[in-house]
Amino acid sequence: MPVHNSDISEVFNRTADYLDIKGENPFRIRAYRNAARIIGSLSRSVADMVAHEEDLTKIQGIGQDLAGKIKEIVKTGTLPLLEQLKRELSPELSALMEIPGLGPKRVKVLYDEMGIRSVDELRQAAEEGKVRTLPGFGAKTESVILEEIGKIKETKKGGLRLKLAVAEQVVEPLVGYLKKIAGVKEIDVAGSYRRRRETVGDLDILVACGQSCPVMDKFVGYEDVEKTLSRGKTRSSVVFRNGIQVDLRVVPEASYGAALLYFTGSKAHNIAIRKIAQKKKLKINEYGVFRGEKRIAGRTEKDVYKQVGLPWIEPELREDRGEVEAAQEKRLPRLVRLEDIRGDLHVHTTWSDGRSSLEDMAEAAKRLGYEYLAVSDHSKHVTVAHGLDEKRLSQQIKEIDRLNGKLKGLRLLKSIELDILESGSLDLPDRVLEDLDLVICSVHSKFNLSREKQTERIIRAMDNPHVHIFCHPTGRLINERRPYEVDLERVMNAAKERGCHLELNAHPDRLDLDDVECKRAKEIGLKVAIATDAHSLDDLRFMRFGVGQARRGWLEPEDVLNTKSWEELEGFLKRY
């Protein structure tokens, strides 16, 4: 089993939990958490770096000690320090930290005073009314603990983070409602929603308004609110009926930019910015930038960045993945925008499992201002999708030629989404592929192959000189299906060697490649096709999610295939 970056990240976070419970030096704990975060969002596989004997201390936040520990984790899958801590305390103890309201200090009290070692033991003690007798605990805390334990099982099966598209459906009416309240001058959805993360844990709404504005009352009284968690003058938290937590923060106009920066995060980005401020003898908080007592900026985000000597940084980049350094060195990417997109390279029609006709899809693409649309229905092996065989594909090609004759301003590209068979061969013969403008291919079956076999299978498919794009490269479905085992780095390098490209599937359930993988593709020098995989007219609008993910992956217009005109694109589709 290869050790992934996320595995290393997990080991470090667990270790930090235990050190935290033991009351170790908080800065040592921070170093572990910091390392967990950095490794988790690194675009290179650390296991690969170890295999190539690269110097891990080159990674910011990793010193001699952690570099050694990473090597141990890569070799053995675990860390002796963590195993020892688990033995010393209890293997299930860190699970207690997952319960909201319980941090290291309280877990330590539970352990020291009552010998509580697991969630089950905690539940029992709470049910017997013993927890409330502990120092720092009370009846309220005890009932909250019981309530949260009850929720653990529900959330585990559902997946706690909401997909961005689902969050959008909640947010838009809420923002519409809040905007109408008299006195509200500015409103933004901040947090991971603004950073366009693929999922959001909660929603952070920021409002600028005067002191007498009733926005807080109106917010907790909103029709979707099921429960109010906290209610203050400047901050309130509620839970909506669908389970999502929504926080509202109210600030004066003069602080709006500082607050927007603060609440957009990420936390790691904010820390990086504040550290720079500190060196300049400045203090940044959600109310502004301060020199001593005096506020010197805060009205806009741009003002705040300017005070620390930085240009404004796009929200999608704010993950402390190198954007702060890039800003300092004036080499921030000029991120791709939705307006740069000139066409969609992966859509389905009623010829296979799409719900809209070829002609309707073409008209919808025209309305979006696209110059081209690739009609890429499934091939025959995907029988459930009514995939096209050779004969029906030839018929569709004729139909596309006919439509292209009468469509003005939009070119339909003759395409197909070929199924990659287990052997790596494709399920239509080369002679029909020659008549197509674009050939894309995907894995739709046999997700359980070994990493080696899956990787070989995909690379073999790209060996076929007619193939242009490998679609939804990891096969994952957000919150539903893990990626299949595949050496994506090898696939990327193989694609690069062959003049193939990778898709960033813009469907909000997929967003596959993810942000980190996009960044890696760019570093390798691959072009990415942002495509919707639309099965209906509405789905064509998924492009915004794909562009958001691409922006998180630092992609610029030149990194994206479908920002090109058809003439340019044709050139990129020539195989080496």
Partner DNA sequence: GCCGTTTTCGGCCCGACTGTTTTCAGTCG
Q: Considering the rule CB under 7 A, would residue 395 count as an interface residue with DNA?
A: no
d(CA 129, CA 134): 10
Q: Considering the rule CB under 7 A, would residue 65 count as an interface residue with DNA?
A: yes
The residue among 406, 343, 348, 335 whose CA lies nearest residue 567 is 343
Q: Which helix (H) or strand (E) element contains residue 185?
A: strand 184-189
Sheet of strand 288-291, all strands in order from the earlier edge strand to the far edge:
283-285, 288-291, 294-297
Per-residue mark of binding to DNA, 85-124 (x: CB under 7 A): --------------xxxxxxxxx-----------------
Q: Considering the rule CB under 7 A, would residue 270 count as an interface residue with DNA?
A: yes
Beta carbon of residue 519, minimum distance to DNA (angstroms, whole number) = 20
Q: Which stretch binds DNA (CB under 7 A): 31-39, 175-183, 253-261, 535-543?
A: 31-39
Per-residue mark of binding to DNA, 211-240 (x: CB under 7 A): -------------------xxxxxx-----
Beta carbon of residue 213, minimum distance to DNA (angstroms, whole number) = 14
d(CA 13, CA 110): 21
Query: Is residue 460 classed as helix, strand or coil in its secondary structure?
Result: helix
Beta carbon of residue 83, minimum distance to DNA (angstroms, whole number) = 14
Beta carbon of residue 486, minimum distance to DNA (angstroms, whole number) = 31
Beta carbon of residue 87, minimum distance to DNA (angstroms, whole number) = 17
> Would you call 574 exposed, middle or buried from its count of C-beta atoms within 10 A (0-12, 13-18, 19+)?
exposed
Q: Which stretch binds DNA (CB under 7 A): 262-270, 311-319, 321-329, 439-447?
A: 262-270
Contact 550, 504 (CB under 8 A): yes
- For DNA, the closer of residues 59 and 426 by Cβ is 59
d(CA 532, CA 365): 12
Which tokens is 386 given?
């009514």
- For DNA, the closer of residues 202 and 512 by Cβ is 202
Site residues for DNA, window 35-54 (CB under 7 A)?
A: 35
Q: Which stretch binds DNA (CB under 7 A): 263-271, 438-446, 514-522, 524-532?
A: 263-271
- For DNA, the closer of residues 58 and 153 by Cβ is 58
Beta carbon of residue 248, minimum distance to DNA (angstroms, whole number) = 10
- For DNA, the closer of residues 274 and 366 by Cβ is 274
- For DNA, the closer of residues 34 and 549 by Cβ is 34
Beta carbon of residue 371, minimum distance to DNA (angstroms, whole number) = 42
Say how many C-beta atoms besides its own lie within 10 A of residue 148's C-beta.
16
The residue among 202, 299, 311, 289 whose CA lies nearest residue 260 is 299
According to DSSP, the β-strands at 469-470 and 501-505 are parallel
Q: Which stretch binds DNA (CB under 7 A): 272-280, 455-463, 497-505, 508-516?
A: 272-280
C-alpha atoms less than 13 angstroms from C-alpha of 541 in its C-beta half-sphere? 5
The distance of Cα 397 from the centroid of its chain, to the nearest Å, equals: 37
**Position among 185, 241, 267, 402 found at the interface with DNA (CB under 7 A):** 267
d(CA 464, CA 296): 61
User: Could you give the angle at the alpha carbon of 62 between the alpha carbons of 61 and 66, nearest 5°?
Assistant: 135
Site residues for DNA, window 471-530 (CB under 7 A)?
A: none
- For DNA, the closer of residues 272 and 543 by Cβ is 272
Q: What number of chain residues touch DNA (CB under 7 A)? A: 59
The residue among 379, 375, 374 whose CA lies nearest residue 390 is 379
Contact 325, 353 (CB under 8 A): no
**Position among 75, 140, 185, 402 found at the interface with DNA (CB under 7 A):** 140
Alpha-helical regions (H) of 52-163: 64-76, 80-88, 104-114, 119-127, 139-158
Give residue 484's region: left, alpha or beta (phi > 0; psi -120 to 50). Answer: beta
Query: Is residue 162 classed as helix, strand or coil in its secondary structure?
Result: strand
The distance of Cα 495 from the centroid of its chain, to the nearest Å, equals: 24
Beta carbon of residue 483, minimum distance to DNA (angstroms, whole number) = 27
**Position among 1, 27, 55, 429 found at the interface with DNA (CB under 7 A):** 27
Q: Which stretch binds DNA (CB under 7 A): 140-148, 162-170, 486-494, 559-567?
A: 140-148
**Position among 7, 17, 188, 247 found at the interface with DNA (CB under 7 A):** 247
**Position among 61, 322, 424, 499 found at the interface with DNA (CB under 7 A):** 61
Beta carbon of residue 25, minimum distance to DNA (angstroms, whole number) = 5
**Position among 76, 242, 278, 445 found at the interface with DNA (CB under 7 A):** 278
Q: What are the φ/ψ torsions at residue 237 (nearest 5 degrees)?
A: -125, 135
The residue among 146, 142, 147 whose CA lies nearest residue 131 is 142
- For DNA, the closer of residues 308 and 426 by Cβ is 308
> Would you call 225 exposed, middle or buried from its count of C-beta atoms within 10 A (0-12, 13-18, 19+)?
middle
Q: Considering the rule CB under 7 A, would residue 32 count as an interface residue with DNA?
A: yes
Residue 566's contacts (CB-CB under 8 Å, 6 or more residues apart) are: 342, 343, 371, 372, 411, 413
Q: Which stretch binds DNA (CB under 7 A): 132-140, 168-176, 311-319, 400-408?
A: 132-140
Residue type, 324: V
Beta carbon of residue 19, minimum distance to DNA (angstroms, whole number) = 9
Q: Which stretch binds DNA (CB under 7 A): 21-29, 44-52, 367-375, 539-547?
A: 21-29
- For DNA, the closer of residues 35 and 506 by Cβ is 35
**Position among 4, 13, 57, 524 found at the interface with DNA (CB under 7 A):** 57
Site residues for DNA, window 421-450 (CB under 7 A)?
A: none
**Position among 7, 17, 198, 286 found at the interface with DNA (CB under 7 A):** 286
Beta carbon of residue 488, minimum distance to DNA (angstroms, whole number) = 27
Residue type, 298: G
- For DNA, the closer of residues 167 and 547 by Cβ is 167
Say how many C-beta atoms besides its own lie within 10 A of residue 154's C-beta.
10
The binding site for DNA (CB under 7 A) comprises: 25, 27-28, 30-32, 35, 57, 60-67, 99-107, 132, 135-142, 191, 202, 204, 230-235, 245, 247, 263, 267, 270-271, 274-275, 277-279, 283-287
